[in-house]
Structure 1
Amino acid sequence: MTDVLHCDLCVLGGGGAGVAAARTAAALGAKVVIVEKRALGGAYLTKTVPVLAFCTAALQAANGAHGADFGTSASRKIDFGRFRAQVLAAIKIFARDFTPGSLTASNIELIRSVGSFSGSTRLDAGGRTIEAKHFLLATGATPALASLPGQELIRSLAPEDLLTLDRPPEDLIIVGASFQGLTLAQAFLRLGTRVSLIEGGPILPSEDAELVAPVLTQLAREGLTLHPHAQITHVEPLRGGLRVHLKGLPAPLEAAHILFAGAAPPLVEGLGLKNAGITYANSGALIDADGRTSNRRVHAIGSAAGGPESALSALGQAERIARRLFGQAGGGTIPPARVLDTSPEMAIVGLTEAQAREKHRSVRVLRAPLGDTPRARLTGAPAGHVKIVTNSVGYILGAGITGAQAREIIGIFGLAIGKDIKAADLDIIANAPILGEAISKAALASSPQLGKAPRRRAFFPRRAR
């Protein structure tokens, strides 16, 4: 007879986001089970932490900062030996939160197995049947490299291979203009590497081109050679490097290394999603604004739902879902932000202008350039702007920022969307730094009485969108 385990939440995936959701739910009194066969921590430890550390070190080196812990100096160089030791030490510290013992201490049961749904509320794993009130898909993505003619003849890199480098290469080809691909491109540029970036289609097509443009302009200024809509016909080895042939390009690209940073397919095959009545596509499980799948008992986050590429964004999304399920809803749904950690940063939350126009008859777009505030002129802040998309009565549907500290400021808009705060009421942050001034300027543009302070309320009644 199969052993049946009853719980409040079953999390499929023991990566950063899955463990974050499990810990939050357990802290709120839920009985939680994690199903994971692979190493705990997943891509969060093997990819997210090394890439974040590498890009931080590159920025310090470019700014001439003396970050001794990361091996950077004012000469735009990184001591890769010291850098590698520091990152490995950081990973070792982070890994303490991803051990079976740490999960047990948090009252979380770990089942070392793959799982497959056998019904809408049942999952089979490790010879046991798990019946849960709620399930969370946090399986991440497949670490797959592109398949190219001749690829077997060359040595290719993935983002997690950064710790194997002894020094930055003179030339680098990056395949995939994803959030991570663009961030790594700028990091290598700032270390003196000549970088070519290849993308098979447009650059970040699902994001607002108006917000992406300042980032691409800055990368071009720093020396990036960008090849959008490019088709790789084949690759071949060279002495000390490789050569990449592009369709329609007379001369091939040559570099010491090629790094694949394209979007990886989600790990959803073999989970028995059809048995649970979960609708999914190649991009992952289809979810609503609250992260629920077509099976109302099952939520999905991160790559499993074709969601935020950033593992850090997925962490926040996981914690919010757990709080909402187990007693800390707080009213409203705060959507996850998509953040590009380049300089300037780009952060977007909610609907883009194009998405809003597809869903709503009447849409207003409010803009304020970052270079058009007194503080920006004095400090020489990089080009960019704030963009707010509202419905006909001023409730915010989406927003985006391109500029310094965009990651920190975008949370204001996420809160406004979740709490139904009108754009006109965002002028309360007028005394904030550069971005705050730009947001205030855009907010005032939405006021029906320019020059007069709009009537403020902390929160507004929820309205159908």
Structure 2
Amino acid sequence: MKTFDAIIIGAGQAGPSLAERLSQAGQTVCVVERKFFGGTCVNTGCMPTKALVASAYAAHLARRGADFGVVTGDVRIDMKAVAARAHKVTTDARSGVENWLRGMKTVTVMTGHARFQNATTLQIGDELISAPKIFLNVGGRASVPPVPGLTDVPYLTNSSIVTLDRVPEHLVILGGSYIGLEFAQMYRRFGAQVTVVEKGAHLVAREDVDISEAIRRILEDEGISVRTGVDINGVSHGGDGITVRLSGSEVTGSDLLVATGRRPNTDDLGLDQTGVKLDARGYIEVGDDLQTSVPGIWAMGDCNGRGAFTHTAFNDFEIIAANLLDGENRKVSDRILGYALYIDPPLGRVGMGEAEAEKAGHRVLVSTRPMTRVGRAVEKGETKGFMKVVVDADSRKILGAAILGTGGDEAIHGVLDMMNAGVTFDVLQWAVPIHPTVSELWPTVLKGLKPA
């Protein structure tokens, strides 16, 4: 048996950074990766999808050339070149992560699937390894719903669609949230007919209804068919393609993307040999310090159910490293969550929405401003969407904000920083931002606060 000071299972976002910090502290570390280095973000998530989004945006902007006085001619999509570009972004990043890990002193890299024998010992193939500290960074995968007939048809998930080198004639998407909507707009801009099917009453159910409805209008304006509030009763495959039977109707497409959520990769780790507790959905239960129910075992990233984003996974690493190596007392509960939906225009979000704040018992002040009144958006010819801020009337603290508009994924950080600083909205209201930017409108938006 090989022994180490620490073992890290999974080379996703949090793993390599933690390996480096532990190595720098003089500890021996074993990093085990069963497939691709870099995790979801590098291989099937952020990097390939945002590379594809960039190609789709370029095509969309080229078609709009006349709006800017630019003559472009016929715009055609070379999907093989588009896919090759996205694949190169992934493979470059993947090899970069692996080379980084293999170059670390006191770090041993192993490839294969790790399974627990007990709370301190794992088996990889024929080898046993042991350590007093074990960090689970095993990520997640697409969740496939139990729809009758689905397992009998050739469906796509986020993992397989990023390697597609053709444009579907008609892409039907099950799921109207982040993954589904990004691929919906992307492939519509590549030239596919697209239908989005969502069981819930609104797209992106966690958002306020006004944001959800604005997202829907943006997508429908581009020719995407959106069906909400429908049950999926079954799927079949015939000569006309793949047919999805809905409540009261059906839709047939050439290709089917299943984007109905994620599930953690915790079902084949041998966790039953350790005493590590899982919740009802299979996520590893962790405390505020990200330690599991078993001392000496931590869980980071998507598998712990405390955030499903690359940036929250990295923050998990920061919290663990700060507490173990720097003598700090960092907590997950101190984290203010921000995220983005990368349709065009993007949605940047932080903190609570209006409905969530009211449900939590806050006396709420709200202000909105359409992007048609944002100079930077007008100058760019990208005026869809709006800005929104939610404030607690008693504490004068910002509870949350959203920008569905050009640059929203960047401009939201001004509010995120104010919330992390713990100051009242007055500080941001009296800031003097740069003109012309989207961020310069935050003080103006705040001046319009009114009771919800």
What is the Cα deviation at residue 199 of structure 1? 1.8
Query: Structure 1 residues 136 and 432, CA, compared in 2 at 3 Å: closer, same or farther?
Result: farther
What is the Cα deviation at residue 210 of structure 1? 3.0
For the Cα contact (< 8 Å) 1:15–1:43, is it kept in 2? yes
Q: In the alignment, which of 258, 261, 264 is matched to residue 262 of structure 2?
A: 264
Are 1:437 and 2:434 an aligned pair? no
1:247 maps to a residue whose letter is S
Correspondence for 2:389: 387
What is the Cα deviation at residue 440 of structure 1? 1.3
TM-score of the aligned structures, taking structure 2 as reference length: 0.82
What is the Cα deviation at residue 263 of structure 1? 1.0
2:148 maps to a residue whose letter is P
Counting only pairs closer than 5 Å after superposition, residues 168-247 of structure 1 correspond to structure 2 as 168-202=167-201, 203-239=203-239, 241-247=241-247
Query: Structure 1 residues 93 and 373, CA, compared in 2 at 3 Å: closer, same or farther?
Result: closer
For the Cα contact (< 8 Å) 2:307–2:313, is it kept in 1? no
Correspondence for 2:283: 284
Correspondence for 2:68: none
2:411 maps to a residue whose letter is I
Correspondence for 1:36: 33
SS at match of 2:411: helix
Distance 2:364 2:300 in 1: 29
Counting only pairs closer than 5 Å after superposition, residues 96-135 of structure 1 correspond to structure 2 as 96-99=95-98, 102-107=100-105, 108-112=107-111, 113-116=113-116, 118-119=118-119, 122=120, 124-126=122-124, 127-132=128-133
Distance 2:100 2:21 in 1: 14
What is the Cα deviation at residue 301 of structure 1? 4.2
1:94 maps to a residue whose letter is A
Correspondence for 1:70: none
Task: Mark the runs of 5 or more structure 1 residues left unpaired by the alignment.
Answer: 67-72, 448-465
SS at match of 1:39: coil
Distance 1:288 1:349 in 2: 23
What is the Cα deviation at residue 23 of structure 1? 3.8
The C-alpha deviation readout for 1:22-62, integer Å capped at 9, x for no partner, is 34554576654433333323333431233222221111111
Correspondence for 2:339: 338
Counting only pairs closer than 5 Å after superposition, residues 350-361 of structure 1 correspond to structure 2 as 350-361=351-362
Correspondence for 1:455: none
SS at match of 1:431: coil
Counting only pairs closer than 5 Å after superposition, residues 25-174 of structure 1 correspond to structure 2 as 26=23, 32-48=29-45, 49-64=47-62, 75-99=74-98, 102-107=100-105, 108-112=107-111, 113-116=113-116, 118-119=118-119, 122=120, 124-126=122-124, 127-132=128-133, 136-162=135-161, 165-174=164-173
Query: Structure 1 residues 97 and 302, CA, compared in 2 at 3 Å: closer, same or farther?
Result: same
Distance 2:294 2:354 in 1: 29
Distance 2:25 2:244 in 1: 53
TM-score of the aligned structures, taking structure 1 as reference length: 0.79
Query: Structure 1 residues 94 and 374, CA, compared in 2 at 3 Å: closer, same or farther?
Result: closer
1:233 maps to a residue whose letter is N
The C-alpha deviation readout for 1:53-77, integer Å capped at 9, x for no partner, is 22211111111189xxxxxx86443
Correspondence for 2:69: none
For the Cα contact (< 8 Å) 1:4–1:130, is it kept in 2? yes
SS at match of 2:245: strand
For the Cα contact (< 8 Å) 1:386–1:438, is it kept in 2? no
Query: Structure 1 residues 89 and 399, CA, compared in 2 at 3 Å: closer, same or farther?
Result: same
For the Cα contact (< 8 Å) 1:4–1:131, is it kept in 2? no
1:219 maps to a residue whose letter is L
SS at match of 2:36: coil
Are 1:12 and 2:9 an aligned pair? yes
SS at match of 1:382: coil
The C-alpha deviation readout for 1:90-138, integer Å capped at 9, x for no partner, is 3332122233x5313123333444243845xx45444233212xx5432
